[in-house]
Amino acid sequence: MYQRDDQHFLELYQTYRFDDQLNFYTNRHEEFSQAHSEAIFASIGLVFLAGIAGIVASIVANPGLKLLFFLFVAILPVLSTVLAAYNALYAFEQQAKLYKDTLDSLQEASALTPALKHDLTAEAFSQQVEDYVKEVEHIFQVEQGQWGQLAEQMRPVET
């Protein structure tokens, strides 16, 4: 009976704690990685368009169009810089890395998931479950500490 209670607890823990958090970290890692990539490529694209606008401005004879393209040459790099600053402000790359590190640790911990074996005593299985839960919860505690470090790094410089 003791071993069955531990098995039931392990199944609930896996479903409602481990798997739920694994899905959360996977989704957040993908979201922040994608946001970082999009910001980088959009910033590069804006600088590229500024270069094209400069070439077109030098070719166009109409003074009104020439002025319009020169405005693009001036404004697009500014927008690129704003986008790069937004990317840095929200620390998409650092957040994606934190989620990825935790995701990797959770995937490593999944290899430690206790399995019900016929040669295990109830106490040995119970100990395996306890060790597994402690390891997973330790991963979550380390992850929380990393968020504190990220927040500390993102503080404005005091003058």
* Within-domain flag for 158: no
Read off the pTM.
0.81
Query: What is the sign of the dihedral through the CA atoms of 12, 16, 21 and 22?
Result: positive
For residue 157, give the DSSP letter.
Answer: P
Give the Cα separation of 122 and 111 in Å (integer). Answer: 20
CB 146 within 8 Å of CB 98: yes
Domain range for residue 135? 2-153
Give pLDDT tens digits along the chain (159 positions).
557 888 899 999 999 999 999 999 999 999 999 999 999 999 999 999 999 999 999 999 999 999 999 999 999 999 999 999 999 999 999 999 999 999 999 999 998 888 766 677 888 889 999 999 999 999 999 998 887 777 676 665 565
pLDDT in tens, 136-155: 999 999 998 887 777 676 66
What domain count does the chain have? 1
Backbone angles phi, psi at 155, to 5 degrees: -65, 145
* Within-domain flag for 71: yes
Q: Which of 87, 86, 144, 135 has its CA nearest to residue 107?
A: 135
* Within-domain flag for 44: yes
* Within-domain flag for 159: no
| Number of C-beta neighbours around residue 15 at 10 A | 10
pLDDT in tens, 92-118: 999 999 999 999 999 999 988 887 666
